[in-house]
Amino acid sequence: MSAFFDYLRNITYYLLFASLVGLVAPTGKYRKYISWVMGLVLLVLLLQPILSITGGQIPVTQWFDGILSQPTHSDENTYEYWRDTHLAAAFEEQLRTQVSGLLSHENITLHEATFSYTEDFGRLTNVRLTVSQEEESRRVPFIRIEPVQIQRDDPPKDPLIEKVKNLIAEFYNLPHSHIHVKIYT
């Protein structure tokens, strides 16, 4: 018997909610759509006992999960959620702007940047950059002499990569082993 009263109570609450929405709803062309949706939900609520007897079920509560409910966070996780979504993106954008400005003084263009940092944003731990540099216009000499290449075990260091590593290491106080630079081609 209590299931019947719960059923009546749910319909009563829904009718009160629907009348409140009807009062608040805008007038004009959207009012008929709001009435149509409200009537459809009322029809499903009225059919729930019949469907439960026959074994069918319409999950009314799952229809509006993506629309009406916002992700909830407990008070202790609110800061972590905000930090992970908004603060980290703003911090990375600020780092990207700083590095781009630092490199632009040396006529180096930043194409991609990936940063690793401590959880409290206090210190950078790793930097990966893709950069390029436009060569300055030089006069071509009349006679061109090709340099002789000496084969060594270590590959020759690119001066652009070394320049970028030195700038980033000095500015952010990072060791060279934590800075990875790739030249954009």
| Residues 139, 119: Cα–Cα separation, whole Å | 50
| Tens-digit pLDDT profile for residues 69-99 | 455 555 566 767 766 777 788 888 888 888 8
Tell me which residue of 173, 183, 182 sits closest to 125, measured CA to CA. Answer: 173
Q: What's the pLDDT at 71? A: 52
Is pLDDT at 67 greater than 50 in this prediction? no
DSSP 8-state code for residue 20: H
Residue indicated by tokens 């970028």: 164
85: DSSP letter: I
pTM (global) more than 0.95: no
Instruction: Give me the count of residues in the chain.
Output: 185
The CATH architecture to which 77-135+155-183 belongs is: 2-Layer Sandwich (3.30)
Residues 6+ apart with CB under 8 A from 111: 130, 131, 132, 184
| Domain definitions of the chain by residue range | 2-68, 77-135+155-183
123-145 pLDDT, tens digit each? 888 888 888 886 654 555 555 55
